Chain A
Amino acid sequence: MTDLATYNFAYLDEQTKRMIRRAILKAISIPGYQVPFASREMPMPYGWGTGGVQVTASILGPKDVLKVIDQGADDTTNAVSIRAFFQKVANVAVTTKTRDATIIQTRHRIPEETLTAGQTLVYQVPIPEPLRFLEPRETETRKMHALEEYGLMHVKLYEDIARNGHIATTYAYPVKVEGRYVMDPSPTPKFDNPKMHMSEALQLFGAGREKRIYAVPPHTDVVSLDFEDHPFEIQHFDKPCALCGAEHVYLDEVVLDDKGGRMFVCSDTDHCEDRREHGHAGEMLARQEAAE
């Protein structure tokens, strides 16, 4: 873990980092605007977070503490390999504790614990363009962003209601940032959208394949789009987490057997562990303990 010499600190060369930092600065000064950047080949396939990794590599310093999550979990393949990557190429401290981390790279979730000033959340973004599936021409979507023509975004929501009776978009739910740009919050569940609003942490979005970086600076308005008679709503779960008993958190469904057995557990593993350490126990855990 200590043979740093074969790589530049944090893998990317300094000129590349400089280029990416400039894109990040521009993104921060125009909240929600997609800044093009010269995305590099990274030693991992597209779709694994090449954009997020490049952003993280460019802002990482030797004193930073890094946390990497994938669907809320610290222990899945994507999270483990990106964490190992930065341990190898930057030798930075890593953690799974949300509150100890200075930089959190994430795929598809925002941690349950409220982020604080000084923390940076780096999102991995597959498709940065919220209008992509409605208007395939990139030249046209750029013009629509430039001229603030966002009627089309509501056409998508209209279709949702017409087909399903309610807004059925559950992830990558479009938001308007600081009253100007419509932005794709990456495929996070819409449950997390309210956490982006007026967050104290800096939020950076990197799309490696699409070569775009965008940002939501701290204390920025992030409003989910909706209709007056069909207001924005987040998901609700009938049961609390089966392991830690937490309510009002985002839960994953886990199939237990082929007889219809299933459990709902926190998608944020750190949050769940922390609660269990503090003596909270959900239905499954209590049952297990009783059995032992």
Chain B
Amino acid sequence: MTQTPLLKVNDVSKFYGSRIGCRNVSFELWPGEVLAIVGESGSGKTTLLSCLSTRLMPSSGIVEYHMRDGQYRDLARMGEAERRFLMRTDWGFVHQNPADGLRMTVSAGANVGERLMAVGDRHYGNIRATAADWLRRVEIEEDRIDDQPRSFSGGMRQRLQIARNLVTSPRLVFMDEPTGGLDVSVQARLLDLVRGLVHDLGLSAIIVTHDLAVARLLSHRMMVMKDGLVIEQGLTDRVLDDPREPYTQLLVSSILQV
């Protein structure tokens, strides 16, 4: 099977004035692949994610996306309308804080249905059925469909946010610390769910996390960032079991063992 990368990132840098956000990052993301970006706070993970997902414009470098029509498109040169359309159909973005990604004052069903309505679905019954189906897939009881996310627990909100993003069957999902702020058992359940969904749907995902356990469970490949630079990348198991860079060794050895 000849395949082509879904996302091609070439020499992306982002400067905030004279400060460095991230520098000279290049990689390719393949269809169905999950890439974890790890590093400590301030290492540029989130800046890089924002540059890739067009939430920020990179200072230099090119991010190209393999569109459904088979063409590679430079995201920075795409029109705003097209970019926003891409973001709400072919992409997903899962925020660390679910309140940023959800509409807290409308019901769970409408949260999931919003993307469908945005792409022109005008049949209430169908929208609702799809929403109910997605709630079931992310293990939220169907009778909560008319409740607002305000009444949901943190874990439920995060699962709802995931459902909201996946309803248009995107090909690429960005996740920014998807398990941050959740307690350990809820984290485990969420990770299990995400792993299942990614596998079933054949999603590609870029996950930013400072938690190496998340990277280990979800990702195929990982990049370690420090001070805006990617200092090491490779298969997740290779990097975690046999870290080459001193910083990565430090990172791996600082995981608490129970």
Q: Which chain B residues (24-43) contact chain A, with CB distance < 8 Å?
A: none
Interface-lining segment among B44-52, B123-131, B174-182, B229-237: B123-131
Q: Does B213 sit at the interface, judged by CB under 8 A?
A: no
A159 and B110 contacting across the interface, CB-CB below 8 Å: yes
Name which of B10-18, B114-122, B187-195 contacts chain A. Answer: B114-122
Complex CA–CA separation, A149 to B127 (angstroms) = 18
Question: Could you tell me the distance between the alpha carbons of A134 and B103 in the complex, rounded to whole angstroms?
Answer: 9
Q: Report the bound CA distance from A148 to B84 in whole Å.
A: 11
Min C-beta distance of A292 to chain B, whole Å: 53
Known: A147-B81, A158-B113, A163-B146. A227 touches B118 (CB 8 A): no
Q: Are A155 and B125 in contact (CB-based, < 8 A)? A: no
Are A228 and B122 in touch, CB under 8 angstroms?
Answer: yes
The smallest beta-carbon distance between B134 and chain A, in angstroms, is 15
Distance (whole angstroms) from the CB of A137 to the closest CB of chain B: 13
In angstroms, Cα B85 to Cα A147, docked, is: 10
Q: Assess whether B86 is interfacial by the CB under 8 Å rule.
A: no
Q: Give the chain B neighbours of A149 by CB distance below 8 A.
A: 84, 118
Contacts of A159 in B (CB 8 A): 106-107, 110
Contact B119 A151 (CB under 8 A): yes
**Are A158 and B124 in touch, CB under 8 angstroms?**
yes
Complex CA gap A147/B122 in Å reads 19
Bound state CA distance, A154 and B117, in angstroms?
7
Once A152-B118, A227-B122, A228-B122 are accepted as A-B contacts, the answer to whether A158 and B80 lie under 8 Å apart by CB is no
Instruction: Report how many residues on chain A are interfacial, defined by Cβ distance under 8 Å.
Output: 19
In Å, the complex CA distance between A220 and B123 comes to 26
Of B117, B122, B123, the residue contacting A155 (CB under 8 A) is B117
CB of B112, distance to nearest CB on chain A (Å): 10
CB <8 Å contact, B84 and A155:
no
| Neighbouring B residues of A148 by C-beta, 8 Å | 81
The residues in A between 101 and 157 inclusive whose CB is less than 8 angstroms from any CB of B are 134, 143, 147-149, 151-152, 154-155
CB <8 Å contact, B125 and A229? yes
In the bound complex, do residue B127 and residue A228 qualify as a contact, i.e. CB atoms below 8 Å apart? Answer: no
Determine the residue in chain A with the shortest Cβ distance to B114.
A155
Whole-angstrom CA separation of A226 from B117 in the bound complex:
11
Q: A163 to B105, alpha carbons, bound, how many Å?
A: 13
CB neighbours (8 Å) of B109 from chain A are: 158, 162
Chain B contacts of A22 at CB under 8 A? none
Residues of A contacting B106 with CB < 8 Å? Answer: 134, 155, 158-159
The residues in A between 216 and 231 inclusive whose CB is less than 8 angstroms from any CB of B are: 226-230
Task: Check B119–A162 contact: CB distance below 8 A.
Answer: no
Closest residue of B by beta carbon distance from A163:
B146
Whether, in the assembled complex, A161 has its beta carbon less than 8 Å from a beta carbon of chain B, the answer is yes
A155 to B107, CA, bound (A): 9
Indicate if the CB atoms of A227 and B113 lie closer than 8 Å: no
Measured CA separation A188–B219 after assembly (Å): 55
Select from chain B the residue with minimum beta-carbon distance to A151: B118
Contacts of A162 in B (CB 8 A): 107, 109-110, 128, 145-146
A147 proximity list for chain B (CB < 8 A): 80-81, 84
Name the distance in Å between A204's Cβ and chain B's nearest Cβ.
29
Residues of chain B contacted by A229 (CB below 8 angstroms): 123-125
A143 to chain B, nearest CB (A): 8
CA distance A154 to B124 in the complex (A): 10
Given contacts A149-B84, A155-B114, contact A227 B119 (CB under 8 A): no
A230 to B13, CA, bound (A): 50
- For residue A225, which residue of chain B has the nearest CB? B122
Min CB distance A96 to B, Å, is: 42
- Bound CA span A229–B110, Å: 16
A230 to chain B, nearest CB (A): 5
> Chain A contacts of B146 at CB under 8 A?
162-163
Q: Mark A174-206, 1 if CB is under 8 A from B, else 0.
A: 000000000000000000000000000000000
Contacts A151-B115, A152-B118 aside, 17 further interface pairs with beta carbons under 8 A come to: A149-B118, A152-B114, A152-B117, A155-B114, A155-B117, A158-B109, A158-B113, A158-B117, A158-B124, A158-B128, A159-B106, A159-B107, A161-B124, A162-B145, A227-B124, A228-B124, A230-B124
27 A-B residue contacts at CB 8 Å? A134-B103, A134-B106, A143-B80, A147-B84, A148-B81, A149-B84, A151-B115, A151-B118, A152-B114, A152-B117, A155-B103, A155-B106, A155-B110, A158-B117, A158-B127, A158-B128, A159-B110, A162-B109, A162-B110, A162-B145, A163-B107, A227-B123, A228-B122, A228-B123, A228-B124, A229-B123, A230-B124
